[in-house]
Structure 1
Amino acid sequence: MAKPKIGLQLYTLRDQTEQDFLGTIRKVADMGYQYVEFAGYFNTSSEDLNKVLKETGIEAISAHVGLDFNDPIKMQADLAVQIEYAKAIGLKYLVTPWAPLPENPELSDVESLAATLEKAARQVKDAGLIYGYHNHDFEFKKVDGQPFIDRLLKRLPADLLIMEFDVGWIHMAGHSPADYLKTYAGRTPIAHLKDFGDGRRDTEVGSGSVDFESVFAIAEKAGIQYFFVEQEEFANSSLESAKLSLDYLRSKGF
């Protein structure tokens, strides 16, 4: 087992990528990040993206891909396009970043989401890629006394669905991120590092209230290969925040 590698979820820099996608990747490399997770490609051809990845030495690991939960046929067609692009740039993982849940989910909601994710997972797996789901805090609402996310993961086997646990959102849901990573050891090869300061405002990794020390202590045993930094709100600039998070992680030996 090796220490997880540090990457950046490019949604962090969405104000930059919307203006200059390829130029932002160069800035990410200049910061010192070596791995990225995408959140859209901004009409960039796979050929042009591959050129910049090769030029900068950045390795593309995964991408967040939303699903059309209202139209199964369109969902399949859209996902096929995403799979083709992912394979063209050498991704390993495709991750659904969000799913709609009612305010008070029931067992039928677990089954409904599981059925949708299973279809997507089989399509991704058949293409030779690995499919995952990324949590927020609402998936920890209890269904008959057990968190929704646990019921979902019991319903779908690990060879179909991995978890990209977001440790910040686990914390915000009132649970121990380290405990969840240990419970699902081997099923979470990629994970998000998000920190929270005041209320629900997120902040640079290491400057908020999330207990990262306990996460780092068990990361290797849990089988985490990549940690992706993600942040959505910034005191100054997204670029500055991304660099501060990386500096903190470097200080912790990553």
Structure 2
Amino acid sequence: MAKPVVSLQLYTLRDQTEKDFLGTIRKVAEMGYTAVEFAGYHNTPANELKALLDELKLEAPSAHVGLNFGEPEKIATDLDKQIEYAKELGLKYIVTPWAPLPENPTMDDVNKLAGILEAAGKQVTAAGLKYGYHNHDFEFKQVDGKPVIDWLLEKVSADYLIAEFDLGWVHMGGQKPVDYVTRYAGRVPLAHFKDFGVGRSDTEVGSGVVDLKGVLAIAEQVGIEYFIVEQEQFQNSSLESAKLSLNFFRENGF
């Protein structure tokens, strides 16, 4: 296995991308990141965005693409547009970043969500891309003695659904990140590196309490291709935090 590539989820820099999307991507490359994950494109034509990525020699393996859960009849049509854009951009993965679940989910809720994810996965796969799901902590609620996330990954074939484990949220869900990437080895090409400090406040990668180093040690063995930094709350600036998180990987040989 090749050494995983360190990537930045651009949602981390949303305060910057709202003002200057393309200029912010330039700053990410100047920082030393070699890949980005998208969370929206700010109405930028795909060919223009691809030209910038090529110029900066930035990889863009994936994008977070929400499904229209509020209007299920529009999910497939909306997703088709996203697939077309992703293919023009040269993405490999389309990842759903969130799904609605009730406070106390039942097996009916699990089955309904699994059906939606499977249909999306088949649609994305038929277009030549791979489809994934990104967790928070609520997918670790138990239904019939097993976390929802495990039910989803059991009910939807690995052919149609990869896991983009958010390691910080795995931890906040009461589980060990190492256990999850090991259990689903070969099905976790993308891993979100999110760290938590006090309570539910996230912090720079490597400066919190989540066992991320444990995942670094086995990343190649379990087939992780991209380490993706994501942070939502900042003490100083989002750009400064992104630099500090990159330093964690540099200090650990990546």
Quick check: TM above 0.5?
yes
C-alpha separation in 2, matches of 1:128 and 1:43: 24
What SS class does the counterpart of residue 253 from structure 2 fall into?
coil
What secondary structure is seen at the aligned counterpart in 2 of 1:180?
helix
Give 1:178's aligned amino acid: V
The residue aligned with 1:250 is 250
Equivalence for 1:194: 194
Measure, in 2, the Cα distance between the counterparts of 1:87 and 1:179. Answer: 33
The equivalent residue for 1:20 is 20
> Which amino acid is 2:16 matched to?
Q
Offset from partner CA, 1:99-142 (integer Å, 9 cap, x none): 00000111101100001111111110110000000000000000
RMSD: 0.7
Q: TM-score, normalised by structure 1?
A: 0.99
Distance across 1 between alignment mates of 2:128 and 2:242: 31
In the TM superposition, what whole-angstrom CA distance separates every residue of 1:210-229 from its partner, at most 9, and x where no partner exists?
11121111111111000100
Report deviation, 1:71.
Answer: 2.0
Question: Which string of whole-angstrom CA distances, capped at 9 and with x for unpartnered residues, describes residues 170-216 of structure 1?
Answer: 01111110001000000001110000011000000000001112111
Aligned to 2:203: 203
Find the counterpart in structure 2 of residue 103 from structure 1: 103
Displacement of 1:62 after TM fit? 0.3
Q: CA deviation at 1:144?
A: 1.0
Separation in 1 of the partners of 2:20 and 2:229?
20
CA distance in 2, matches of 1:18, 1:79: 23
Q: Match of 1:51, as an amino acid? A: A
Give the match's secondary structure for 2:36.
strand
Q: For residue 247 of structure 2, what is the amino acid of its counterpart?
A: D
Structure 2, unaligned runs of 5 or more:
none
Describe the SS at the equivalent of 2:90.
coil
Aligned match of 2:10: 10
Partner of 2:151: 151
Match of 1:55 in 2: 55
Name the TM-score, length of structure 2 as normaliser. Answer: 0.99
State the one-letter code of the partner of 2:166. D
The percentage of aligned residue pairs carrying the same residue is 67
2:105 maps to amino acid: P
Paired AA for residue 219 in structure 1? A
1:226 is matched with 226
Residue of structure 2 equivalent to 1:87? 87
Q: Deviations over 1:127-176 (max 9, x none)?
A: 00000000000000000111111111110110110000000000111111
Q: Which residue of 2 aligns with 1:241?
A: 241
Q: Name stretches of at least 5 consecutive residues in structure 1 with no aligned partner.
A: none
| CA-CA distance at 1:70 after TM superposition | 2.6
**2:27 maps to amino acid:** K
